[in-house]
Amino acid sequence: MREEIPPGTLDMLILKTLARSANDLHGFEIAEAIAAFSGRVFLVEEGSLYPALQRMLVQGWIVGDWGRTTDNRRARYYRVTPAGRRHLDRAVKSYGRVTRAIAGILELSPMEA
Amino acid sequence: MLGRLWRRLRLLLSRDRATRDLEEEMRLHRELRAESLHRQGHAVDEARSEASRRFGHAIRIAEDSRAAWGWGMADAFWQDVRYAARRLRQRPGFTGAVIGILALGTGATTAMFSAVDAAFLRPLPFAEPDHLMTLRRVNIPSELRMEPEVRRPRSFDVDHVREMRDVFSHVAAYASGGLNLVDPQRPRRVKAGVVSGDFFTTLGVPATTGRTIAGADGVPGAPKVVVLSWGLWQTDFGGGNVVGTTIPLNTSRYEVIGVMPRGFSFPDESDLWIPMSIPVTDATFEPFRGYLPSTVIARTAPGITREIAETRLRGAWERVVSTLPRERGQRLSVDETLDVIRAQGASTPLRAELVGNRRTALLVLFATTALLLLIACANVTNLLISYGASRSRELAVRTVLGATRVRLVRQLLAESVMLAACGAVAGIVVAPFVLRVLRTLMPAQLAGVAPVQLDLRVLAFATLLAVITGILFGLWPAFGATRGSALATIKAGGGHGASAGGARRSQHLLVGAELALAGVMLVGAGLMLRSFERLVATDAGLVAEHVATLEMSFLRGIRQAQRLERLDRMLAELRRLPGVIAAGAVNDLPLRGGGGIGISVKVDGAPPAANREFPRYLVASDGYFEAMGIALKRGRYFLPSDGTGSASSVAIVSQSMADVFWPGKDPLGRTFLFGGDGPPVQVIGVVADVRESGLEEDPGPQMYFPARTNLDANVALVVRGTDRPGDLLPALTRAVRSVDAAQPVYNVRMMDDVIGKSMAARRANTVLIGLFGLLALLIAALGVYAVTANAVAQRSREFGIRVALGATRSDIAWHVGSEMAVVVTVGVVGGAALAWAASRVMAGLVYGVTVHDVGTFATAPVVLALAAVAATAVPARRAMRVQPVEVMRDE
């Protein structure tokens, strides 16, 4: 079952994906990784992925360098900057507070959420 | 924060590469997605289109991504600009007309601004220039031609001002004259500022090399020193090390003590400065023609306002003058001076003094160009409204397709601002031409202080003007065109007329205003032209045709008897020439500019102080009146024998002098006392009044004394030729050289040129105001034409139907014409009324006519109305030719 990515969380998901990856990733790999880690619940709409990447480049949270894919095609590989990690931390904490709050309202235990 | 801005900037600067990068990475994404789908079993084509579909609208995404760079506004702006440029290129006729009109408007205004900037706005290049003022009628003590016992104060002296230490921190005197720079390669006359020791400290400008003139340099008998201007230093001395060397000026050598910084050439474009000795000695007089045109300048002490200084000065005047000894013959001049001080004040701010009587001319001209610009803007607004109306359908369609009104207004504004910018750029090309004419009109005294130039300030002004005018004439049509319901426009067959009623009302209003303003300008132009006509017709009291003149200063050391002997030989030489009818000499050439001297006289036997006229003192040789063509009214001209021997002194007086001093009597044979108490002088002739100081100035009383009584060092030779005089000018110079090869001469020119030069400022003013008036007329006529043509084009369907229903062609023409007739009448009458009310500002500019000159006020509206009628007639004829069938077919 597919779901829309909750509004405002895409940046965090991209940053987390890049942060946990050992290698730099290009756009398609990021999309695939998000799909895989979310158990194919979230399919990143590519239409929102690239605007988000450009936005984060400007913010200085990620940097992109041109490289070659395994089959020798040019691709831009992204990695998180220290500023990006700091933003990710803040975003994750804030997200945690929000989900716990929502869970509380829905009268579910935090474990179940 | 800073980093983010930096990254944005970098993206902006390399936006093409960034866009390519983005496209490449998105293409890779689509390919990889297609391959992945393919592996999952979709067919290749299907997979690719699925990938594309899933990717969404690629262009849209690219746009969204770029929006992240934060340059959305700039992007939209560029789009507007590109779109505007494309639209304007599609209509070259319209674009050309608008840019042309704006170029004339902004060009003229920009040139005028640079003149006004120089005259009124730009600070004078002195320290705290607002603290500088010139003092009226302050005497500089002189020890010339005067007995020692006369050397006590005769008037309010520069020393009296110096004593007012609490009011003025500095006091100085200056005068502007000419000296011969004796250089074997390039002998030439240079402009010399003759300045007192405090001159440079008063202005607060130090030398760039060496020192300026100090107090000790002004002591009579001090070593001769000179300060060079930057310009002279560069051109004549190669910018080398000159301080300490000596240069020859006239017959003496002067030691160079310093060089002034670039741009300093006050007063009157001085090439160099020499000290003015106080009291004035013969040496001081060398650069001048017989009298010292000195100005006293002072700097107010800290905390002293101009008003306080003026009050204190007047007090000092009254005090000093009341203690002066009232000798015979002096009372007149002192009392007269005090009257002037009481009436006009004792001081003038330096800037006002320098701008002088050109103030009104410049301000009126500036107002005229502003009017011209306003008319140009109104006209462009009109064209844009027509243009907007013809685009109403396009705009409506774009509104329906989702364009917001803000976006449409912005786009229309982009077009008008772009038009204005092009107009301003073209205007900068036009400006120098206007400026060339304008320079003649600038106050001469300002030339060395605040030269007119197109500098950054002026360019900034032009740019500002472009933006303001662009918004001014763009906003109204933009809102007008985007107002109203899009649906209604489309339903009404927009672009064909029905919805254009509001636009037409605006257009009529604008055309009416244009005509009224053009009417005001035409009246102004008419007044100037009539004045000029009167001026040219003015009897100057002389006949200038075929008259050649030359000026020279006998070198110092040549005594009176030698001068006379040389002059006689020169005149004899000239009279021998075949083409010469008469030759003579005079001390002051009429209309050459510069002042003369008035001397008080008293009619023998009449009570003293009967009047305060000071007849102008002139010295003429025999043959002068004949050569200059000055008519003899009574008695006789001078003979070579006049002024010789022991016979009593004789003089020839002007008609005015005869009327003032011997009203109702025949002055021939009567006598007057020179200086009020001098020896009696007998009148032997009466001649016509000659306009000495200017064609526009009524000649006062004049008296001529024979050259033999007192020939000045400065003389002008005057030669009258026959109808075919050949080349008189080289002949003149040759005659002087044949007598003394070393004698420098200057201002060798025809008398016509002397008169022409004296009228140059008025001519420039007349040409500009006349030209601007003509332009205003053309632009207003173009406005009438455009509106009528637009109305006809929009209503061709209506006219077609009317014709089909039986209206005659003259009915149609009448219909078109009557509508415009109201507009034209209101505009023309309104313009005349406005001009009547406003023409008072021209009071100082007209000559020989009143500001409410009937002829001008009768002619200008008629000319305007005729132009408007002609501009209506062309499109009205087109309306008459509308074929109903064609109109119907168009639908």
Task: Tell whether B505 and B572 lie within a shared domain.
Answer: no
Q: How far is B530 from B535, CA to CA, in rounded Å? A: 9
Helices (H), B14-163: 15-39, 44-55, 58-67, 72-90, 92-116, 158-162
pLDDT digit string, tens, across residues B652-711: 999 999 998 888 889 998 988 887 677 888 999 999 999 988 888 888 899 999 988 877
Q: Regarding the domain delimited by A10-105, which CATH topology (the fold level of the hierarchy) does it fall under?
A: Arc Repressor Mutant, subunit A (1.10.10)
Residue B124 within any structural domain of the chain: no
Task: Tell whether B588 and B737 lie within a shared domain.
Answer: yes
Q: How far is B174 from B196, CA to CA, in rounded Å? A: 6
Task: Tell whether B324 and B225 lie within a shared domain.
Answer: yes
pLDDT at B830: 93
**DSSP calls for B441-454:** TS-GGGTTTS----
Spatial contact of A100 and A110, defined as CB atoms under 8 Å apart:
yes
Interface test with A, best of B53, B61, B63 (most A CBs within 10 A): B61
Task: Tell whether B516 and B584 lie within a shared domain.
Answer: no
- Rounded to the nearest angstrom, the minimum Cα separation between A84 and chain B is 13
| ipTM of the complex, rounded to two decimals | 0.86
pLDDT digit string, tens, across residues B200-243: 999 999 999 899 998 888 777 788 899 999 888 988 888 888 88
pLDDT at B448: 66
Residue A71: closest CA among B31, B63, B581: B31
Task: Tell whether B831 and B706 lie within a shared domain.
Answer: no
pLDDT at B828: 92
Residue B351 within any structural domain of the chain: no
Task: Tell whether B712 and B826 lie within a shared domain.
Answer: no
What is the C-alpha radius of gyration for chain A, rounded to an integer number of angstroms?
15
pLDDT digit string, tens, across residues B298-337: 999 888 888 888 888 888 888 887 777 665 545 556 666 7
Helix (H) or strand (E) holding B417: helix B405-439
3-state secondary structure B530-554: HHHHHHHHCCCCCCCCCEEEEEEEC
Q: Does A2 touch chain B (CB under 8 A)?
A: no
Q: How far is B657 from B662, CA to CA, in rounded Å? A: 8
Task: Tell whether B146 and B207 lie within a shared domain.
Answer: yes
- Rounded to the nearest angstrom, the minimum Cα separation between A97 and chain B is 27
pLDDT at B718: 94
- Residue B25: which of A32, A51, A76 has the nearest Cβ? A76
Q: Select from B689, B714, B743 the last residue of a domain.
A: B743
Q: Name the residue type at position B247.
A: I
Residue B645 within any structural domain of the chain: yes
Residues, chain A: 113
pLDDT at B150: 46
- Residue A51: which of B25, B68, B70 has the nearest Cβ? B68
Q: Select from B310, B345, B380 the last residue of a domain.
A: B345
- Residue B33: which of A28, A54, A58 has the nearest Cβ? A28
Interface of A with B in 80-109 (CB under 8 A): none
Task: Tell whether B563 and B682 lie within a shared domain.
Answer: yes
Both tokens of B818, joined, read 């009557």
Residue contact A60–B7, C-beta within 8 A = yes
Structural domain spans, chain A: 10-105
Flag whether pLDDT at B535 surpasses 80: yes
- Rounded to the nearest angstrom, the minimum Cα separation between B35 and chain A is 12
C-beta neighbour count of B36 within 10 angstroms: 14
How many CA within 13 A on the CB side of residue B206? 4
Task: Tell whether B378 and B520 lie within a shared domain.
Answer: yes
Residue B367 within any structural domain of the chain: yes
Give A-chain residues touching B62 at CB under 8 angstroms. 50
pLDDT at B443: 74
Provide the domain count of chain B.
Answer: 4
Q: How far is A103 from A98, CA to CA, in rounded Å? A: 9
Task: Tell whether B395 and B310 lie within a shared domain.
Answer: no
Both tokens of B381, joined, read 């607004």
Task: Tell whether B739 and B796 lie within a shared domain.
Answer: no
Spatial contact of B757 and B736, defined as CB atoms under 8 Å apart:
no
Residue B459 within any structural domain of the chain: yes
In sign, the C-alpha dihedral spanning B1, B3, B9, B12 is negative
Residue B858 within any structural domain of the chain: yes
pLDDT at B578: 84
Cα of B828 vs its chain's centroid, Å: 29
What integer best gives the mean pLDDT of chain B? 81
Residue B331 within any structural domain of the chain: yes
Residue contact A27–B25, C-beta within 8 A = yes
Flag whether pLDDT at B87 surpasses 90: no
Residue B547: closest CA among B513, B511, B574, B587: B574
- Rounded to the nearest angstrom, the minimum Cα separation between B23 and chain A is 10
Phi (first) and psi of residue B70, to 5 degrees = 85, 20
Q: Does A35 touch chain B (CB under 8 A)?
A: no
Work out the percent of chain B whose per-residue pLDDT is above 70. Answer: 84
pTM for the whole thing?
0.68
pLDDT at A21: 87
| Residues ≥6 apart with Cβ < 8 Å to B715 | B551, B552, B554, B563, B567, B585, B586, B587
Q: Name the residue type at position B790.
A: N
**DSSP calls for B770-827:** HHHHHHHHHHHHHHHHHHHHHHHHHTHHHHHHHHHTT--HHHHHHHHHHHHHHHHHHH
- Rounded to the nearest angstrom, the minimum Cα separation between A94 and chain B is 22
Secondary structure class of B714 (helix, strand, coil): strand
- Residue A28: which of B28, B57, B64 has the nearest Cβ? B28
Confidence tier at A62 by pLDDT (50, 70, 90): very high
Q: State the residue range of the domain holding B629.
A: 556-743
